[in-house]
Amino acid sequence: MNKIIIILIAASLLFTGCKDQPKESNSTKENEAELTEQHTERKAFGNDWMQEIKMNNGVKWTANPETNEGVVRMQSVLTTSNPKELKDYHMVANVLNDEKNFVVKECTMKGPSHDNLHVWLHPLIEKIDALKEVKTLEEAQDIYKSIEENVNAYDYYFE
């Protein structure tokens, strides 16, 4: 008889606890999804690519002249622009996109140097695309800064 009472009490506690759990679980899942999305955005606009890129046995990779020219022009755009408003950031993004397209179109690199260029370039493409579509000034400033870091790091890995 005591066993039955204990089982009934345990079962009632279990079922009572389960009634409230779905709300908490959904809330937790929503919070986890939001945190994951924020982390993914930060990661995309960060410079995690630096963990993946390799040097050429301790020295810089040789890039084709057109790639170097396109990157120098991107650096110049970033150095000379002083965006203040959202429309300014969108304009800079469009100019950077044109220069990025030049680099992609004119690239003749092959092998490991080309592979490492893509490690550097793919995150930059994502950042430029994001800057073209950004909706807030704060986000534009963050992405712009990340683009500057990305573009300026080119000289460390390539010549």
Write out the DSSP string of 74-113. HHHHHHH----SHHHHHHHHHHHHHHHHHHHHH----HHH
pLDDT of 12 above 60: no
Say what the pLDDT of residue 1 is. 53
Tokens representing residue 72 in the block: 């120098």
CA quadruple 76, 78, 82, 86: dihedral sign:
positive
The arithmetic mean of pLDDT across residues 79-94, rounded, is: 98
In sequence order, the β-bridge partners of residue 149 are none
Judge whether 144 and 82 are in contact, CB under 8 Å.
no
Tokens representing residue 121 in the block: 């370039």
Say what the pLDDT of residue 2 is. 53
Tokens representing residue 22 in the block: 């779905």
φ, ψ (nearest 5 deg) of residue 59:
-120, 170
The arithmetic mean of pLDDT across residues 86-101, rounded, is: 98
Element (H, E) at 126: helix 111-133
The predicted-structure confidence for 39-66, as pLDDT tens digits, reads as follows: 444 445 788 998 999 999 999 999 999 9
Q: Rounded to whole angstroms, how far apart are CA atoms 158 and 53?
A: 11
Q: Rounded to whole angstroms, how far apart are CA atoms 88 and 69?
A: 24
Quick one: what percent of the chain has pLDDT higher than 70?
Answer: 72
